[in-house]
Amino acid sequence: MKTNKQIVLTVTLGILVSFIFTGNLLSLIVANESQRGFGNPPGALGAPGAPGVAGIKSNSTIENYVLRGASYFMNGYADTLLFLNIVELAKLEGPQYDRLAKIISDAAVDMENAYATYAALEQEAGQTPYDPNVIRQLEMFGYKGFMEKNNLDSVIFKKVEGYLGKGDIRGVYHYLYTAVESILPVQYRVKAAVEEGKFPAVADLWMLNQTYSETLLFGQYVAQIFYEIK
């Protein structure tokens, strides 16, 4: 029992540490710097030939959505990992349904916020033109060599290449949006089960973990590429 409590404490502390450093880490993990692929819409402050203060860029709005979406996503994932940790110990310490219901409910709220944020991100990106210089760099980027050099997951990286290799940053945002969209109904099913005092379907738990982890890697690889082409 003492060992099990130590395990729970270690995992919980790890999650808390991730929250402490969230401000510094989130911007490195989920599609960070992708806003650089966008320029100013006609007439925006700082746009060529437009009135206003030079250097004020509309892509700062896109960046805000990227960072907020990442924050909500990571918070939701952290809660889900804590949920899975408690489930893992259920045979030893009991299912703790009340606690599980609260954690998965918090995770669902974060993902609802992520869903709304990525929807707003898609809308903002859809009305902001690309920066042709950045798009050109993405199209000419050495994806295969970069993947091999950094030992990246080939399946997930190929998805990233499929978007960025064509300069389709908006497609990246849509991927994040649909990933969150696919997570929500699974979380709702798990939430409903534990609120009824039932153990959630194991297949749903596996699906949650897989979708979260794949989406996180997808967003990280996007960020890595944008950091590389700086």
Reported confidence tier of residue 43, pLDDT bands at 50, 70, 90: very low
Q: Is the pLDDT of residue 13 over 60?
A: no
Q: Is the pTM of this model over 0.85?
A: no
Contact 194, 100 (CB under 8 A): yes
- pLDDT band, very low/low/confident/very high, at 29 (cuts 50, 70, 90): low
Angle at 186 between CA 8 and CA 112, to 5 degrees: 90
| Cβ-contact 58, 128 below 8 angstroms | yes
**Nearby residues of 172 by Cβ (< 8 Å), 6 or more positions away:** 31, 34, 160, 163, 164, 222
On whether the CB atoms of residues 93 and 7 are closer than 8 A, the answer is: no
When pLDDT is averaged across residues 207-221 and rounded to a whole number, the result is: 94
> Rounded to whole angstroms, how far apart are CA atoms 59 and 105?
33
